[in-house]
Amino acid sequence: MESPATAHNKAAIRPQSNLLKTTLIALPILLVGIQWLTDGVQPGNLLMEVPKVRLFPWLETRWAYFYLHIFTFVPVFALSFDKNVHYYKKWKPLLPAIAIVGAVFILWDVFFTVQGVWGFNERYFAGITFLSLPVEEWLFFFTVPFACVFIYECLNFYIKTDLLARVERPITLGLIAIFLAVGFLYWGHLYTSTTFILTGFFILYHFLFLDSAYRSRFYLAFLVSFLPFLLVNGVLTGGYTEQPVVIYNPEEYLGIRITSVPLDDAVYGFLLLFGVVTLYERWR
């Protein structure tokens, strides 16, 4: 049974904890909002010249972006009914998580497209747009999390040992420090600062208030999915096509590319997937 002193201490800590939670939610939104309202993006300044890995002529079609969704979604869907992972049984908590996080990212995507932070090459999509985004871009926020959470579930099933459990804490603290430092150092680079600040604060909130049991497993899944991520994003960013599908404003991102993929995209993908997994784990 708790002593009166212990109960009193817990009651005193609870309002402080709630205040910190509110601050960690409101502060990054405020910081990003200030940038979005005050940063003047130079319209039409989209970079077409990017590093090439290898050109594939069959991707020179208006269906290129749609092909990526087929290659991403169909194999995972077919494997969802296997007798071990039973991925189809996990769709009930997964699909709402994808929908909610995807809606936030779509709003972000629409704003950046309208502002000229990035744009889309009509040469590589079917031509149907909604809210300034190609339909294929809307599908991105479903097919990519759907496939990556499948990787996460497969690793959890086949690798029983939590390989990164012992280093989860230093990894988490290191990511928080790096992301927030880059986000503030590159204040004014709208893509970089927005992505790194939001990701840094989200990991900090997760570290302080949410279940750490799956955090290290998510880190492993993200590392494993990074290669297919580079392949898919490599097509979108022009590593395998004559021109990029997604075109970036060079004034608004970090300027570092992995092959043709901006480093900012990796952090953006990390935040997208970690957000989905967080809701998925909460509701499963």
What's the pLDDT tens digit per position in 160-211?
999 999 999 999 999 999 999 999 999 999 999 999 999 999 999 999 999 8
Among residues 112, 134, 133, which one has the least CA distance to residue 41? 112
pLDDT confidence of residue 13: 52
> What is the Cα–Cα distance from 57 to 68, expressed in whole angstroms?
15
Amino acid identity of residue 54, one-letter, is R
Among residues 196, 203, 98, which one has the least CA distance to residue 152? 98
pLDDT at 11 > cutoff 80: no
Residue 70, H or E segment = helix 64-79
> What is the Cα–Cα distance from 136 to 63, expressed in whole angstroms?
9
pLDDT confidence of residue 44: 83
Per-residue confidence band for 14, with pLDDT thresholds at 50, 70 and 90? low
Read off the pLDDT of each residue in 12-26 and give the average, rounded to a whole number: 83
Residues sharing a CB contact under 8 Å with residue 205, sequence separation 6 or more, in sequence order: 21, 24, 25
pLDDT confidence of residue 262: 97
Q: What is residue 41's three-state secondary structure?
A: coil
Determine what percent of the chain is predicted with pLDDT higher than 90. 90
Cα atoms in the 13 Å half-sphere on the side-chain side of 135: 9
pTM: 0.94
pLDDT at 15 > cutoff 80: no
Residue 182, H or E segment = helix 168-185
Write down the mean pLDDT value for the chain: 94
